[in-house]
A and B are shown apart, each in its own frame.
Chain A
Amino acid sequence: MSKKTDVLIIGGGISGISVSRELSKYDLDVTLVEKEADVGWGQTKASYANRHPGARWTPGTLAQQMIAEANQMMDQLIEDLDIEFRKSGELVLAFNKEELESLKTMKKQGDYIKVEGLEFIGPDEIKRMEPNVNSAAIAALYMPTAGVFNPFEQMLALYENARDNGVQMLIGTEVTGIIPENGKFIVETNRDEIQAGHIVNAAGLFGERVAKMAGADSFKIRYDTKSTCLILDPLLGDIVQHIVSGLNDLQFTRYKLVTPTFDDKILLYTTFPEPAKGIEDRAVEKRMFNLTIESAKVLVPDVDFENNIVASFSGLTARNDRGDFIIEASEKLPTFVNVALPPPGITCSPAVGKRVVEILKDNGLGLREKTNFNPYRKSIKSLRGSSPMQVRELVGKDPGYGNVVCRCETVTEGEITEAIKRGAKTLDGVKFRTRAGMGRCQTNYCGPKVTDILAREQNQPFEKITKKGRNSNYINHKGS
């Protein structure tokens, strides 16, 4: 069986989903394929989710241009799509004269795209704003417009809204071959064949592979930097109120960060050169724990990070051989658009969506705006953070909101069933939508209960429920 579509987006990460949402504004048949059991399971879910003002990037790069454009669009998007965002501001620390020079360069770079409120501050002011920061810092660049997203929410908001506006989301569909034919494409997948007029390659770490399938490769993805995030127990308190970061080289191959998260935890992040053991190498190695903590201690010393880790994750970041964003139609196949974004994909996703649509239009895609496009989406209502009156209303409508399933994060059955209605099929899918299992005990209490609910809502036996699709069954009833 074969399916026809005007635009096929390959890859359900933040960039592919942003493109799909932008395209859903037009009268088109749009299809998105994602090989995993849910969207955003590549680099997106492991993002440190900062909103960058753009001062770190060099004027003239596509990356900086996209960040600048996206920051103009973001506030509207946050409102329309009910996205969690915390405008925390950021302090970039300098520890010596050389780094101070880099800060000055950063400020100039920021001024170039008119970042608001950039300001140098001295050690006393740093101490006042962030008492726990390393007192060896001689200066900081304060960037008040920086902030933190909930990376899952931002991605899922765009996803749900695009789907509501008619984009076909084919989850668990992996592209195995692409045959160009008269400017169009026949795309083979592990499921049905798809005939596509245009293709947007947003396959992230797999971008080079997908481009090669069509013979539209003009870049190389580098698999040589690995990032690690450690999430800390909120017990440590507000170690920092602002994002506190160090300087980095242009390619972000070395970067250190201590940042608050959307859910009042603290996140430590580092990235460093690391020979890859495969594209999907997501193992957190022992020395990464140590390296991440060491780099965090450069920024914020004297905190017992070691004994307060709640979660840890790692993964490769898709950098490319050009060292900038790649958003372009293939020279050989103009109806094939490559999107290859090194960080910060989350920050600039809305602008990338818009840019891709312009490129598609320039290469023959007819665009007619829909009259019935719905720009709004509401987030899943949660018990946590609701007022007593809201809780009454929630539980009144759905008694499941009175049944707390995840004790660490106070997530109720009501939220979990709503997440399943919105597309969660796995334990991780529920986790990213509701936070169930993100707390101190890391699903050890709620895992079996969430599995019960998934089984019940999807009318499947317990043993069929997976952690993250494929053969990741929560229990291995078949054995091996």
Chain B
Amino acid sequence: MANIESIPLDVAVVGGGPAGIFACLELSKSLKLKIALFESEAELGGMPRSCHIFFGLRDRKRIYTGPAYAQKLDSLIRKTSVEIHTGTTVLNIIPGNPGEVHRLNVVSPEGLRSYENRFLILATGCFESSRQARRIAGTRPAGIFTTGTLQQLVNLRHLRPGKRAVIIGSEHVALSSVLTLRRAGVSIIGMVEEYPELQTYTFPADAMKRFFGFPIYKDTSVKAILGNDRVEGIELARGKDQKVFQLACDMVIITGRFRPDSSLIDNTPIEQDLSTLGPVVDMNFRTTVPNIFAAGNVLRGADMHDLCALEGKLAARNIIRVSKSNEAGAGQFVSIRAKRPIRYIVPQKIAPTQIRKRLFSKLFPWPAIQVERTLRNPVMEAWSGKEKIWEASFCKLIANNRYSLPVEKFEWQRVDSRKGITLEVMSADS
């Protein structure tokens, strides 16, 4: 798209959710930078707009509802000099060569525009895997939604999408689904979890189960969705003997298994992590293309909004630092990758020299790992080539929960940086 004139910017931030907005708030403290934020929705705020649980604990130090939190972010950013473009979709990014600007093409009802940016921050968030991606068998009737779609219908449009729902999955977001359904006056027929363990904290899940009176079917897989026009039920198989049974319902809510909304990095030289499906970043939120950063749930689906907000803030700080010092080198990084059932490690590149500078805390785990299913008594090891550089055992690692990887405890002198580091779960009871 070279034949339209470009508008110069210092930093373009793509995505107006918590990560993008907090990046802008931080960047705007540096008065010299010309910053613009692009959001495809008509309103800023991202996911919290349609969600109603607790927000703002770690980033705002108080508790908001989702919409109030989104409004707060909106009012904060509107006090800054950041250009805000809502209802504007980024069509593609065209990274420049090292030292050159990165181009961004956007479209809105006002037309097509092109920007040339010294820095980019990708903060496009994530979405839940579809029923299709999860290979859930059966017919294709109306009434199959993800939590995200359900919240769009219930919390933004104030509609009741059905009467009786079955929830698939038991990650944290499934609990959000429970609250949304109950809020809309929908009965919950059951929650179905493929694994023998819940994929979230046991206490709130059990409390909700008792309070709202629905069964949780663990160790149960979906055999088929039933119904031609509308969902009529769901066929399940439970336990070792795979006992088949059916539940009648008019809605199936498919929850969790988030994946980054990272389509902007498709067909670019920005390296993608095949386990997260988001961009590979280093400890400073830099992607593999200089001056393109990524923060928030585009790095991995999905984490709490406040952690995303902090990531946005830290990415912005790094941009300010780089823009002042003209620091070119990315430092010596060691690649780290995880084997299943570890779902991911983010960042995927670690600079051993930077480790001591950071203060690790439970509030902001970084580097962080997640497991793809809840594990009891796992033993975890890190290897570099044939050298074991770390080992630890845990009581329980809950799926979809973010844990800090204590890289400061790794024996870095034994790491072969060409071979990188592999993280594995050696044994676990479940």
Residues of A within 8 A of B (CB): 234-235, 280, 282-286, 288-289, 306, 309-313, 383, 387-389, 391-392, 395-396, 399-404, 407-408, 410, 412, 440-445, 447-448, 462-463, 466-477, 479-480
- Which residues of B sit under 8 angstroms from A234, Cβ to Cβ? 266
- Which residues of B sit under 8 angstroms from A283, Cβ to Cβ? 137-139, 224
- Which residues of A sit under 8 angstroms from B48, Cβ to Cβ? none
Which residue, B131, B223, B263, B277, has most C-beta atoms of chain A within 10 A?
B263
A240 to chain B, nearest CB (A): 18
- Which residues of A sit under 8 angstroms from B133, Cβ to Cβ? 309-310, 440, 442
Which residue, B87, B130, B223, B224, has most C-beta atoms of chain A within 10 A?
B130
Separation of A289 and B132 alpha carbons in the complex (Å): 10
Separation of A285 and B272 alpha carbons in the complex (Å): 32
Contact check, B132 vs A388: say whether CB atoms are below 8 A apart: no
Sampled A-B contacts (14; CB under 8 Å): A283-B224, A289-B135, A399-B109, A399-B110, A407-B261, A440-B130, A444-B128, A448-B149, A468-B229, A475-B153, A476-B142, A476-B143, A479-B163, A480-B163
Separation of A311 and B132 alpha carbons in the complex (Å): 5
Contact check, A310 vs B163: say whether CB atoms are below 8 A apart: no
Q: Known pairs A392-B111, A477-B161; list 13 more (Cβ under 8 Å).
A: A280-B228, A283-B137, A283-B138, A286-B223, A309-B133, A395-B107, A444-B127, A448-B157, A463-B159, A476-B143, A477-B160, A479-B162, A480-B163
Separation of A132 and B145 alpha carbons in the complex (Å): 36
Separation of A383 and B145 alpha carbons in the complex (Å): 27
Closest to A306 in B: B135
Closest to B151 in A: A448
A206 to chain B, nearest CB (A): 15
Q: Which one of B40, B139, B156, B250 contacts A282 once the chains associate, using CB atoms below 8 Å?
A: B139
Which residues of B in the span 142-201 have a Cβ within 8 Å of any Cβ on A?
A: 142-143, 145-146, 148-149, 152-153, 156-157, 159-164
Contact check, B107 vs A407: say whether CB atoms are below 8 A apart: no
**B108 CB-CB contact with A under 8 Å:** yes
- Which residues of B sit under 8 angstroms from A470, Cβ to Cβ? 229
Given A477-B160, A480-B250, A388-B1 contact (CB < 8 Å): yes
Contact check, A476 vs B230: say whether CB atoms are below 8 A apart: yes
Closest to B42 in A: A403
Closest to B259 in A: A440
Contact check, B157 vs A462: say whether CB atoms are below 8 A apart: yes
**B91 CB-CB contact with A under 8 Å:** yes
**B315 CB-CB contact with A under 8 Å:** no
Given A404-B40, A445-B148, A466-B142, A309-B109 contact (CB < 8 Å): no
- Which residues of A sit under 8 angstroms from B250, Cβ to Cβ? 476, 479-480
Contact check, B159 vs A402: say whether CB atoms are below 8 A apart: no
Contact check, B4 vs A388: say whether CB atoms are below 8 A apart: yes
Q: B190-222, CB under 8 A of A: which get 1 and which 0?
A: 000000000000000000000000000000000
Contact check, B142 vs A472: say whether CB atoms are below 8 A apart: yes
Given A234-B266, A476-B161, A284-B149 contact (CB < 8 Å): no
**B76 CB-CB contact with A under 8 Å:** no
- Which residues of B sit under 8 angstroms from A476, Cβ to Cβ? 142-143, 161-163, 230, 250-251
Closest to B153 in A: A448
**B112 CB-CB contact with A under 8 Å:** yes
- Which residues of A sit under 8 angstroms from B238, Cβ to Cβ? none
- Which residues of B sit under 8 angstroms from A477, Cβ to Cβ? 159-161
Q: B97-110, CB under 8 A of A: which get 1 and which 0?
A: 00000000101111
B382 to chain A, nearest CB (A): 25
Separation of A44 and B146 alpha carbons in the complex (Å): 28
Q: B323-345, CB under 8 A of A: which get 1 and which 0?
A: 00000000000000000000000
A321 to chain B, nearest CB (A): 27
Given A289-B135, A475-B159, A402-B108 contact (CB < 8 Å): yes
Contact check, B266 vs A235: say whether CB atoms are below 8 A apart: yes
Separation of A182 and B127 alpha carbons in the complex (Å): 62
Contact check, B230 vs A471: say whether CB atoms are below 8 A apart: yes
A460 to chain B, nearest CB (A): 14
Closest to B224 in A: A283
B194 to chain A, nearest CB (A): 13
Contact check, B107 vs A473: say whether CB atoms are below 8 A apart: no
Q: Which one of A395, A444, A462 contacts B109 once the chains associate, using CB atoms below 8 Å?
A: A395
- Which residues of A sit under 8 angstroms from B223, Cβ to Cβ? 286
- Which residues of A sit under 8 angstroms from B228, Cβ to Cβ? 280
B140 to chain A, nearest CB (A): 7
Which residue, A442, A444, A471, has most C-beta atoms of chain B within 10 A?
A444
Contact check, A471 vs B229: say whether CB atoms are below 8 A apart: yes
Contact check, B143 vs A309: say whether CB atoms are below 8 A apart: no
Contact check, B112 vs A475: say whether CB atoms are below 8 A apart: no
